[in-house]
Structure 1
Amino acid sequence: MPTLLHIDSSAFTDGSVSREVSAAYRAAWQAQHPDGTVIHRDLAALPVPHLDAHGISAAFTPAEGRSAEQAAAFALREELMAELERADAIVIGTPMYNFTIPSSLKAWLDQVILMGRTAGDTPSAAGTPVTVIAARGGSYAPGAPREPYEFVTTYLEKVLTGMLGLEVEFIVPEFTLAATVPAMADFVQHAADSKARALEDAARLAKASAA
């Protein structure tokens, strides 16, 4: 059976555009694969621990020589890497926090990136399509005043393709704070249009990955 790995990282459940669009992707994917499996990692509800010394050193220690702490830390890494490797498609929902990704998503990435297995010359999940829903409160598009501060897609493109070998597509709904920030009132329609396009793109890319 085909498998979708669905990752959400927004701290908010209500009103989260990244969650809404990732859910639309998931619904479209499931419509194509009604018997498929979805692995949902909600990194806000159930955070993945940050990679620590035990998890790092365990990767360079034979299984029989690992301490109890190393064994436990690597068991989690093994579980997360296996989910990545099992997936036929991946969707990641992320907001922009302080110009970059939430620390919860960075923690997941640190856990699954392992040189010689998921990363390196022959990444074990190479070629898997991944769609990233990268929502942000304003605009960081080319030509925008804050374009130089965009470290969500610029970082994720490098790590997902350059290290994990995934095939990445980005969906970028912008101005998500326009409806709640009075100073952004002029961008409310831009926000609505951007989200509508994001939902359409999510359905399209989900169907393409299912095919």
Structure 2
Amino acid sequence: MSLLRIDSSIRTQGSVSREVLDSLERSYVESHPGTGVVRRDLGREPIPAGTWAAATAAGMTPEDQRTDEQRDALATAAALADELLAASSVVIGSPLYNFGIAAHLKSWVDLLITDPRFAPGSSPLAGTEVVLVVSRGGGYGPGTPREGWDHGTGWITRILADVWGADVHVVEAELTLADVVPAMAELRPLAAQNRAEAHEAAAKIGGGLRR
């Protein structure tokens, strides 16, 4: 049994989503001795451009007429599907970029959907707990100027829960840019509190995930 950890932040230093996932992972490992952790870092090692298009084209091409590129793309999709299905629990870091999810995470989802096991209506993750750690540079809650501008969290949650059938938990950290944006200086105490609460929530969820 293993925990599958998916990172999608393009930052390797100072990434809040990575830090919160670290807290969750530590808690999970401490609570589940002997359980392994499988890591896929989409931020550092993104899926090659063109893989999704090749896999999609392969699905509309007779098997004996597929190109080597199409066969390789289908093999990559199958490997990602195998990895996801083999996990006892899954944690995903999803920073908000330009009001949506990271392009690397979107490519991962798109490629998985080309595998028949992850096609809409198949619910391959039924019974699997997935923790989505969302980080946002600003504030997007009710009453804020950017309320409703987060177009990423709802989308990825719908894919995980409604399309793939997972039991999804969401941990959110906002105002993550307060420490580096002068105009957000007055929000730094609130940002620190928000981050601490995210770490606490992630650790609690991580310790309680099923094996």
| Normalised TM-score (structure 2) | 0.92
Q: Deviations over 1:11-43 (max 9, x none)?
A: 111111000001111111111223212111111
Aligned counterpart, 2:17: 18
Hey, what's the Cα distance between the residues in 1 that align with 2:79 and 2:205? 27
Q: What residue in structure 1 maps to residue 53 of structure 2?
A: 53
- 8 A Cα contact 1:119 1:165, kept in partner: no
Partner residue in 2 for 1:159: 159
Name structure 1 gaps, 5 residues minimum.
Answer: none
Alpha-carbon distance, 1:4 to partner: 0.9
Q: Select between 178-187 and 123-132 the one with higher mean Cα deviation.
A: 123-132
Q: Deviations over 1:56-83 (max 9, x none)?
A: 1323556555332211111100110111
1:33–1:210 CA contact under 8 A, matched in 2: no
Question: 1:120 & 1:36 partners in 2: Cα distance?
Answer: 31
| Contact 1:18/1:134 (<8 A) preserved | yes
Match of 2:123 in 1: 123
The answer on whether the counterparts of 2:121 and 2:164 sit within 8 Å (CA) in structure 1 is: no
Number of the residue aligned with 1:202: 202
Residue 53 of structure 1 deviates from its aligned partner by: 3.1
Q: For 1:114 and 1:37, how far apart are their aligned partners in 2?
A: 28
Q: Distance in 1 between matches of 2:117 and 2:53?
A: 19
- Secondary structure of the equivalent of 1:105? helix
1:149 aligned counterpart, secondary structure:
coil
Alpha-carbon deviation of 1:121?
A: 2.8
Q: What SS does the aligned partner of 2:75 have?
A: helix
1:78–1:17 Cα change, 3 Å: same
Q: Is the 8 A contact 2:52 2:107 kept in 1?
A: no
Using structure 1 for the length normalisation, give the TM-score: 0.92
Task: Tell me how many residue pairs correspond in the alignment.
Answer: 210
The percentage of aligned residue pairs carrying the same residue is 40
Structure 1: which amino acid aligns with 2:174?
E
- Give structure 2 stretches of 5+ with no counterpart: none
Aligned residue runs from structure 1 range 3-152, under 5 A: 3-50=2-49, 51-61=51-61, 66-114=66-114, 116-152=116-152
Q: Is the 8 A contact 1:3 1:88 kept in 2?
A: yes
Root mean square deviation of aligned Cα: 1.7
Judge conservation of contact 2:135–2:176 (CA < 8 Å) in 1: yes
CA distance in 2, matches of 1:156, 1:166: 11
- Matched to 2:2, the amino acid is T
Cα contact 2:140–2:149 (8 A) shared by 1: yes
2:204, 2:53 → 1: CA distance?
41
